[in-house]
Amino acid sequence: MPPQPHSGESTVNHDLQIRERLGIDTIIRYSDVMQMTGLSRSTISRRVTTGEFPKPVPLSDSSARSAPVGFMLSEVKAWISRHAANRDTKRRV
C-alpha cells in the first residue's frame, strides 16, 4: 500500500511527489505552472511564443484555440532552476 498524504497535503501534490521520487515525469496544467512560477497565464503564453518558456503539450486532438494543454513538470522545474541560478549573475539597476 503506498504512503498516504499527511494532513493538509493535497492528494495531487502527494502523487506528484511519489512520481518524482520514482523518476516518472508528469504533465501539469496551467494553474499548477502559474502557482509554481508566480507568472500569469498571459505571461506564460507570451514567453512560450517567444521561446522563453517550455512549449505546452496538447492534451487532445483538437486544434481549437481553447484546446486543453499541459506542461511537462521536469521542463518547468528546469526553467525555474535556470532562473534561480541566473538571479545572482544579472545586474540590478
Task: State the pTM of this model.
Answer: 0.73
pLDDT > 70: what percent of the chain? Answer: 83
pLDDT surpassing 50 at residue 71 = yes
| Separation of CA 57 from chain center | 11
Domain ranges, ordered by start, for the chain: 26-86
Torsion of CA 38, 39, 44, 46, to 10 degrees: -160
Q: Which pLDDT belongs to residue 65?
A: 82
Q: Which pLDDT belongs to residue 19?
A: 74
Least confident among 38-42, 43-47, 82-86: 82-86
Q: Which pLDDT belongs to residue 93?
A: 43
